[in-house]
Chains A and B, each alone.
Chain A
Amino acid sequence: GQNIDQPTEMTATEGAIVQINCTYQTSGFNGLFWYQQHAGEAPTFLSYNVLDGLEEKGRFSSFLSRSKGYSYLLLKELQMKDSASYLCAVRSPQQNFVFGPGTRLSVLP
């Protein structure tokens, strides 16, 4: 079966750092993806991990531990525009993307 878990909501302050966790149990693994989704809009790609370790991309970093079935997305120097839902997704070897429930992040001034 497929199970992906994320916290439902998080709140942080402008300029701060926030870490959004994702745990997964899936049959088959070919990469973990993070997407950002603003209210009323389609998800947009943020980052991708297929090997263990940290991938850094500007203010956003993503970490993966395949043995623990665990990933996190780290957002630094938070801005108001970062208020959005963050979706964790696991890709299967058949290119099937399974999404988690999403974490709604609110950035406060």
Chain B
Amino acid sequence: EAGVAQSPRYKIIEKRQSVAFWCNPISGHATLYWYQQILGQGPKLLIQFQNNGVVDDSQLPKDRFSAERLKGVDSTLKIQPAKLEDSAVYLCASSLAPGGRGNTIYFGEGSWLTVV
């Protein structure tokens, strides 16, 4: 079974530039998450989708971050304009719809962003 796919793996941009990250979840997983993980910290949820609807985006800095999942499958996270403090790993994860025991989330390898 293919895992969660993310691209690009690494990106270096200057502050005030824009960047976009792409994620393709595990086939059949209705729930998709974007997390931000700053070095030495735990992942912080940015946005959660259920199919193509947003369930939670309360911690997404909406003045500069946007995300979409138009067809309920793959998703794009965009940052514009980037700030130095956005340097982090952006982790995409997916899970089955609610129900059943377990239903853990599965992470992609992450997109490493450095803003200089």
Contacts and interface: CB of A to CB of B under 8 A. Distances in A.
Interface of A: 4, 33, 41-45, 48, 50, 87, 89, 93-102
Given A42-B91, A48-B102, A96 B48 contact: yes
Given A95-B95, A97-B93, 11 more contacts: A42-B91, A45-B106, A48-B102, A48-B104, A95-B98, A95-B103, A96-B56, A97-B33, A97-B105, A101-B42, A102-B41
Given A41-B109, A44-B107, A45-B106, A97 B45 contact: yes
Given A96-B48, A96-B55, A101-B41, A45 B103 contact: no
Nearest to A30: B98
A87 B105 CA distance: 13
Nearest to A103: B42
A94 B42 contact: no
Nearest to B58: A96
B64 interface: no
B72 interface: no
B45 A96 contact: yes
Contacts of A99: 35, 42-44
Contacts of A95: 31, 48, 50, 55, 95, 97-98, 103
Interface in B35-88: 35, 40-45, 48, 50, 55-56
A101 B41 CA distance: 5
Q: Which of B55, B97, B103, B109 has the most CB of A within 10 A?
A: B103
B108 A42 contact: yes
29 contacts: A42-B91, A42-B108, A42-B110, A43-B43, A43-B91, A44-B107, A45-B105, A45-B106, A48-B102, A48-B104, A50-B101, A87-B42, A94-B48, A94-B56, A94-B98, A95-B48, A95-B97, A95-B98, A96-B45, A96-B56, A97-B45, A97-B105, A98-B45, A99-B35, A99-B43, A99-B44, A100-B42, A102-B40, A102-B41
